[in-house]
Amino acid sequence: MSSIADPIAGSPVAEAKAEAKAKAVAASPAITLPAAGERELRLDLFRGLALWLIFIDHLPTNLLTWLTIRNYGFSDATEIFIFISGYTAAFVYGRAMLEAGFLIATARILRRVWQIYVAHVFLFTIFLAEISYVATSFENPLYTEEMGIMDFLKQPDVTIVQALLLRFRPVNMDVLPLYIVLMLFLPLILWLMKWKPDVTLGLSVVLYAVTWQFDLYLSAYPNGFWAFNPFAWQLLFVFGAWCALGGARRMSRILSSNITMWICIAYLVAAFFVTLTWYVPQLGHIVPKVIEQWMYPINKTDLDVLRFAHFLALAALTVRFLPKDWPGLKSPWLRPLILCGQHSLEIFCLGVFLAFAGHFVLAEVSGGAVLHALISVAGILIMCGMAWIISWYKHSADKGASKKGAGGNADLAGGEA
Amino acid sequence: MKSAWTMLGLTLLAASLAAAPARAGDTAEPPPPCEVPAYLLSTENALPKVTEAVKANRPLSVLVVGSRSSTILGNEPSAYPAKLQAALKEALPSATVDLSVELQGKSTAEDTAGTLVKLVEAKKPTLVIWQTGTVDAMRAIDPDDFRAAIHDGLAALRNAGTDVVLVNLQYSPRTETMISAPPYLDNMKVVATQLEVPLFDRFAIMKQWSDAGYFDLFSTSHGVDLAKKVHACLGRALAKFVIDAAHLGPVQQN
């Protein structure tokens, strides 16, 4: 979205745009950007979907939880979110780098990082308020041990500083710090991509392998580690960037082959059955013990290869069966999802906040399945409403204030990166 | 109620669940029966030493090693270890059941694993009930290290010649936004499968009770009543689990 992302058009840069673009493309034939044209609605759609699913997964298990993809395979909404973030970030800032140079693109990326950081700190404040309340009102002898987790409230000085350093991250607040770190490295990634995209992707794979081999991680406070290891998850982000900068086009032959399709289907079906055994232990025997021992645990922290492969299979099938010009993308039914996807930072933060609020309501009001499901649905409606308001601000309320043309490049890639 | 829906979904997926009780929230009034679905109380992994001891009429000596959730402060006789002992005695009237509890309040799995062999040498139990994971989850110990610690502890107990039952975390909905239990639950399951150790899934069982409306685990009550009731049910369920794993006949089971 242009208010947060990048006013590329309308700046002096825009005038020199065509010329610069021609030059840049000539100078670096290594990457190609998709032609500026219609907005890629599929990205918005799936990012919106990922935001909904992340919200539902953050709530206590309920009826809607059974609709989230993590129940039917290895990967979950986080993979979709990080991949699309990599894709759109590369699209928006890659263009900026080609047109306005490394320095300008880096400056814009850093501004974006700052915005995400501020959003994270804002969420932390809300979290702190919530658990301070829980800590003072809750003293159930059954949970004497678990309540020890509140001990950090005894040292707010240390805790808050650690939170500002991104080292103290409560449960459910792990995605934004990961995103911040990945975005910090985006200038480097794009700079390398401009030089040789395939080598960049290769380096990313090497870093991933080294992470697994030597167990690299970032430590957290008071102890432990980052729940999403950036050294491993960068692979998905860089892969997204690589696809955005021409990789997807070069892969199109592989993607449209029938062999790929059947491999993907076979893998997804196998993953589905394995997942089924988690929920229906009686079916445990369908997975041979040898495979079980090799496969488990499926590590989310370090983006297990099985998860990555599961995401690839899903993505490949999606690209194949959901064409870019599918008329359904313009249907009013999908509009709410797409709107949410177009304002992902705001909606993501709202989702985390609503999840906290949902936990709170469920804890205060003892309700059954109906209340659980109601809270999930209400949360999603609030997210849609907010997305609609934000886009109204952008298209109507802010129109006079900003002189940006509607054709700002940031818009085309699926809004903010 | 929620469990009814969950069950419904599962039943559709696997006809094998047809027998599972899909009860609605109308069970709120009568005293908590704390029923547990059969699949949560059955295990493929055996407890040969326990079987042997009971069949040979030797005393059954049980050692519970755990953190603070293995007790209720000031109400030890109401905590699950004591209830387990009572239920075992009831189910195995001819057997002598000794039980001792070793609490290691702030120990991670790694800390405890190091002490297990000494404990076994001192107390010579037939069966060790090892409750762990909570401290590790609260301190966000690296799950790989946690898994290694559980593995080492279980292997050491095996070598020392005792049977083991592993007990995982409590279901604690109020602290769900602060303590991330899943990695620890998963790793305990993995190691238990690997080493063929029976795992008493305390988390799933308590969650089941909460979903079914037997207990309001969200409750902010400061009273000790809820804790006592939950522990009584846990003790009984654990006794059933042990008897089932030791194949001590369906006669005693119910």
B164-206: pLDDT as tens digits: 999 999 998 888 878 889 889 989 998 998 899 999 999 999 9
How much is the pLDDT for A36?
53
**Span B149-170, average pLDDT:** 95
Half-sphere exposure (Cβ direction) of B79: Cα atoms closer than 13 Å:
20
List the single residue in A63, A217, A225 with the smallest CB-CB distance to B5: A63
pLDDT at B10 over 70: no
Contact A141 B72 (CB under 8 A): yes
> Whose CA is closest to B204, among B170, B240, B165, B230?
B170
Q: What share of chain B in percent tops pLDDT 90?
A: 54
A32 at interface of B, judged by CB pairs closer than 8 A: no
Cβ atoms of A344 and A34 closer than 8 Å: no
Which chain A residue shows the shortest CA-CA distance from B104?
A: A145
Four-way CATH pick for B45-247: 3.40.50.1110, 3.60.20.10, 3.30.360.10, 3.30.450.20: 3.40.50.1110
Report domain extents, chain B.
Answer: 45-247
pLDDT at B51 over 90: yes
What ipTM was reported for this prediction? 0.78
Separation in Å, CA A6 to CA A92, A163, A186, B149, B167: 8, 28, 15, 50, 53
Chain A positions touching B39 (Cβ under 8 A) are 281-282
Token pair of A126, please?
Answer: 């809300």
How much is the pLDDT for A395?
87
Place of tokens 């501020």: A118
Contact B221 A142 (CB under 8 A): no
Place of tokens 């799995």: B109
Token pair of B103, please?
Answer: 């609490």
Q: Measure the CA angle with vertex A307, ends B132 and A383; round to 5°.
A: 90
Burial of B122: CB neighbours in 10 Å, binned 0-12, 13-18, 19+: exposed
Distance CA A397, CA A383 (A): 20
List the single residue in A170, A215, A372 with the smallest CB-CB distance to B2: A372
Distance CA B99, CA B116 (A): 16
pLDDT at B211 over 90: no
Cβ atoms of B137 and B179 closer than 8 Å: yes
Distance CA B78, CA B80 (A): 7
B72 at interface of A, judged by CB pairs closer than 8 A: yes
How much is the pLDDT for A57?
87
Distance CA B14, CA A278 (A): 12
pLDDT per residue of chain A (417 residues) written in tens, 0 to 9: 333 333 333 334 344 444 444 444 444 445 666 555 557 889 999 999 999 999 998 887 777 778 888 888 899 999 999 999 999 999 999 999 999 999 999 999 999 999 999 999 999 998 888 878 777 777 788 888 888 878 777 888 888 898 899 988 777 788 999 999 999 999 999 999 999 999 999 999 999 999 999 988 888 887 777 889 999 999 999 999 999 998 888 888 888 899 999 999 999 999 998 888 877 766 767 777 778 778 877 888 889 999 999 999 999 999 899 888 888 888 899 999 999 999 999 999 999 999 888 888 877 776 667 888 889 999 999 999 999 999 999 888 776 655 444 333 343 344 444
List the single residue in A60, A137, A145 with the smallest CB-CB distance to B134: A145
Question: Which B-chain residues 127-166 have CB contacts (< 8 A) with chain A?
Answer: 134-135, 138-144, 147
pTM exceeds cut of 0.80: no
Distance CA B147, CA A395 (A): 53
Cβ neighbour number for residue B69 with a 10 Å cutoff = 27
Question: Who contacts A301 (Cβ-Cβ below 8 Å, separation ≥6)?
Answer: A217, A225, A226, A227, A228, A229, A232, B143, B183
B137-149: pLDDT as tens digits: 988 888 888 999 9
pLDDT at B105 over 90: no
Which chain A residue shows the shortest CA-CA distance from B174?
A: A363
How much is the pLDDT for B6?
47
Separation in Å, CA B110 to CA A68, A218, B106, B125, B149: 35, 21, 11, 21, 5
Which amino acid is residue B244, in one-letter code?
D
How much is the pLDDT for B7?
44
A278 at interface of B, judged by CB pairs closer than 8 A: no
Chain B positions touching A222 (Cβ under 8 A) are 139
Q: Report how many helices (DSSP H) and strands (DSSP E) chain A contains, helices first.
A: 19, 0
State the angle between helix axes of B225-245 and B80-91 in degrees (0 to 180), rounded to the nearest 10: 40
How much is the pLDDT for A169?
77
Token pair of A311, please?
Answer: 């995401």
A357 at interface of B, judged by CB pairs closer than 8 A: no
Cβ atoms of A120 and A274 closer than 8 Å: no
Taking chain A, what is the end-to-end CA distance rounded to the nearest angstrom? 8
Q: For residue A274, report the phi and psi dihedrals to the nearest 5 degrees.
A: -60, -45
How much is the pLDDT for A19?
43
Cβ neighbour number for residue A278 with a 10 Å cutoff = 12
> Whose CA is closest to B79, among B221, B230, B222?
B230
A368 at interface of B, judged by CB pairs closer than 8 A: yes
**What mean pLDDT is reported for chain B?**
83
